[in-house]
Amino acid sequence: MDTTKTSTAGQDIEDMKDEIALLTSYSNDTIYRLRYDTMAYDYVSPSVERLLGYTQSEIRAMNIRSLILETRIVSNAMRPLESFEALENERKEGAVNKWQADYLMLTKEGRKIWVSDISYPWFDERGAIIGSVGSLRDITERVEAEAQAKGEVSQMMNTDALTGLSSRALFFVRLEDELKRIKRSHEELSVLLIDMDYFKNINNNYGQDIGDRVLKAVAGIIRLSMRETDTAGRVDGGQFAVVLPDTPASGAFWVAERIRASVAKETFHIDEENELFGITVSIGIASARHEQQLDASALFKVAEQRLYIAKQTGRNQVSMDELAESL
C-alpha cells in the first residue's frame, strides 16, 4: 500500500475543510447541513454566531425549531405556516427539491429577526434523503422595508389624496362593518351625505386650483365636526359622506346642521381679482336600527334620496328620515 498517496489525499481533504471553514467564516450567510432524524445541525458555519448569537456547538446541540416563531413558505405565497409536520414529511420523502422559506426567529439575546432559508436535499451514499444542505441569511431590513412600502400603498389606496379623508372604497367598508356591529350591540347608526352646492360652477368660474382649495376647506370642517369613532370619506367630486356609529337620527341632524352652518360662514379669496365668494352644502341623513336588514348600499341609497330632497327644496339645508325603512 502506498502510504505517501494516502497521506497526500488525507492532507488534501484537511486543506479543503480548512478552506471551506475560512470561506464560510467570512460569509454573511450561514451555511448548514441539517439531519432530519434529529432536526439538528450536522454542520453549521461560524457566522451563525453573528446571525443568532449562539456558538456553533450551542446550535448543533439544539433543535432549530425551538427558535422559529413563524414560518412563511415561498411556494405558499408567503402565507404563515400553521404546522411543520406535513411539509417536513414531504421533505423527508424527497417530494420537495428546493426548500425556500422565511422564518421569524428569536436570537440568543431575545431579539426577533427575519431569516431567509434556502436549502436542497442531502443524500447518503445509497441515494436516500437524510437531511438538507442550505444557507440562512438575515433579511430583517428587507422585510421591514416591504412592510412599510405595503403600508404606504394601502394608505394611498384608502385615503383621498386631495382631502386626506377616507377613500370611497374604505368608507363603504367601514359602513358595512358598522352595520354588522350594531346587530350585535343593538345600537343605531346614521350616515350623512354632504354635497357641495353648485360645485361645478366653482371650477368653471375660478379654476380647479380654487376648487381644490374649497374641497380641502370643507373636508377640514367635516373633520373638526367628527368624533374619533366616526369615519368621513370623499365619495365623489364634491360629495362627502360620514358614518356616525351609535348615533340616532336626532343626533345626526345636529352634527349635519353644525357642518352646514360652518360651511356657509366660510369665505374664499380670489387673489388676482381680490374677490370673495362663499359656498353652501346640502346634506341628506339616513339612520338604521340593529333589527333592520340593511346593507351599506341600501342605507346609502336612502341618504341619496334625502340629499335629493334637500337639493330640490332650496339647497343649503339638511333633510332626514326618522329612520331608514328596509328596502
Q: Is the Cα torsion angle 153, 150, 165, 269 positive or negative in sign?
A: negative
Give the pLDDT score at 96: 62
Give the pLDDT score at 272: 65
Per-residue pLDDT for the chain (327 aa), expressed as one digit of tens each? 555 544 554 454 455 455 555 555 556 799 999 888 888 888 899 999 999 999 999 998 888 888 989 888 876 555 665 555 656 666 666 656 788 889 999 999 999 999 999 989 888 888 888 888 999 999 999 888 888 877 666 666 788 989 999 999 999 999 999 999 998 888 999 999 999 999 999 988 888 899 999 999 999 999 999 999 999 999 998 999 999 999 999 999 999 999 999 999 998 877 666 778 899 999 999 999 888 888 999 999 999 999 999 999 999 999 986 544 433
User: What is the C-alpha separation between 188 and 178, in angstroms, rounded?
Assistant: 9
Give the pLDDT score at 89: 63
Give the pLDDT score at 285: 96
Give the pLDDT score at 324: 43
Give the pLDDT score at 143: 87
Give the pLDDT score at 310: 95
Q: Where in the chain is the domain with CATH 3.30.70.270?
A: 159-320
Q: CATH assignment of 159-320?
A: 3.30.70.270
Which CATH fold would you assign to the domain 3-145? Answer: Beta-Lactamase (3.30.450)
Contact yes or no for 94/38 (Cβ under 8 A): no
Q: Where in the chain is the domain with CATH 3.30.450.20?
A: 3-145
Contact yes or no for 220/175 (Cβ under 8 A): no
User: What is the C-alpha separation between 120 and 53, in angstroms, rounded?
Assistant: 25
For 125: left if phi > 0, alpha if psi spans -120 to 50, otherwise beta; the answer is alpha
Three-state DSSP class for residue 45: coil
pTM above 0.95, yes or no: no
